[in-house]
Amino acid sequence: MKKYSLFPLIVIAIILIIIGYIIGKYLSSSPTFSEQRNQGSYKFINPLLECDSSSKFSQNVSLSRLKPNLENAISELQNSQYLSFASVYFRDLNNGPWLGINENENFSPASLIKLPLAIAYYKEAEKNPAILQELITIATPSATEKQSILPSVTLIPQKNYTVEELIEHMLIYSDNQAYYTLFDHIDNSLFVKNFTNLGVDISGAYTNPSGNIISVKSYAAFFRILFNASYLNRDMSEKILSLLSKVEYQNALVKGVNNSKIPIAHKFGERTFELTGEKQLHDCGIVYYPQKPYLICIMTRGQDFSKLSSAIAKLSNIVYQSVAGN
């Protein structure tokens, strides 16, 4: 019977152990989910588009506890006359579970409509990048461009601005004049196409005199497609979310988070109904809590913008505390 030496087998075993040790050290020192996000070229779109899905992710927020907490808070805010009605939509962006409170109730989009217009321009820019550098002369502001929550930076009449500069004013400062100027400059069908492509029904815009045509659930679709870069390409999605992270208004959704280290890409909208005096204030966006990003959209009705902003901040804080505590 032929004898075999065990020495080669021992050498091979030692080599395999060393290789395993080296691989283990590499994996243990590899960037975490949040580190991979920061080291990549994108900061605001879904990091799963850039990194390996083997990264560790948090478990979803306990929706069974969060929903009654929000419902109780809304009842308290109604009883104290901070608001007359509220809708809330929350989605865990790691693994998709969501909750809604009055999520199908329609509101006036007000300045929330500016985000779909920006998306329309950047969608067109994917085919025709030159559109973003087209110059437009700003006209004298009209009465329709009045705002209750005023931007700190306004456009200068008779001055030329590029389309991209106007988009920045429209999103960061929620400038109405920038919105109307951009709306008049683009083919309306391209604007409406955003809604139809995402299954958002705005047919009521032509038949409903109140303008109540959009819900927290339907509007959240715009943030979802930006986060996942599923409608615009990655560069365009990242650009819009980056602009939304610089939004000037911080008295509602952002105030509820109360953590300047956490980026928040959001858009607010406000409207006053002249005949009834009713006011609507909304704030929707993505909170980039470390390893646990989430989407939140809150729409409200009431009589006082200050109280409505405080109400949104309170509801936002309840969600934030729930996410932070998990």
Over residues 250-265, the mean pLDDT reads 95
Question: What pLDDT is stored for residue 288 in this prediction?
Answer: 97
Over residues 211-240, the mean pLDDT reads 94
79 and 11 within one domain? no
Average pLDDT value for the chain: 84
pLDDT at 160 over 60: yes
- What pTM value is reported for the model? 0.83
Position 190 confidence tier, pLDDT thresholds 50, 70, 90 = confident
Residue 56: Cβ within 10 Å count: 7
Run of H or E including 122: helix 114-127
Three-state SS string across 241-259, please?
Answer: HHHHCCCCCCCCHHHHHCC
pLDDT at 256 over 50: yes
225 and 144 within one domain? yes
Residue with tokens 């109780």: 72
67 and 22 within one domain? no
Question: What pLDDT is stored for residue 29 in this prediction?
Answer: 37
148 and 16 within one domain? no
Q: What's the structural domain count of the chain? A: 2
Domain around 33: 7-39
Q: Please, which residues have CB within 8 angstroms of residue 103's CB and are 6 or more apart in sequence?
A: 87, 88, 89, 215, 216, 217
| Token pair listed for 30 | 């590899």
148 and 52 within one domain? yes
284 and 201 within one domain? yes
Domain contains 59: yes
pLDDT at 19 over 60: no
pLDDT at 2 over 50: no
Question: What pLDDT is stored for residue 325 in this prediction?
Answer: 86
153 and 189 within one domain? yes
pLDDT in tens, 49-96: 544 443 434 445 678 899 999 999 999 999 999 999 999 999 999 877
Position 15 confidence tier, pLDDT thresholds 50, 70, 90 = very low
Task: For residue 88, give the CATH number of its domain.
Answer: 3.40.710.10
Domain contains 2: no
Over residues 131-146, the mean pLDDT reads 81
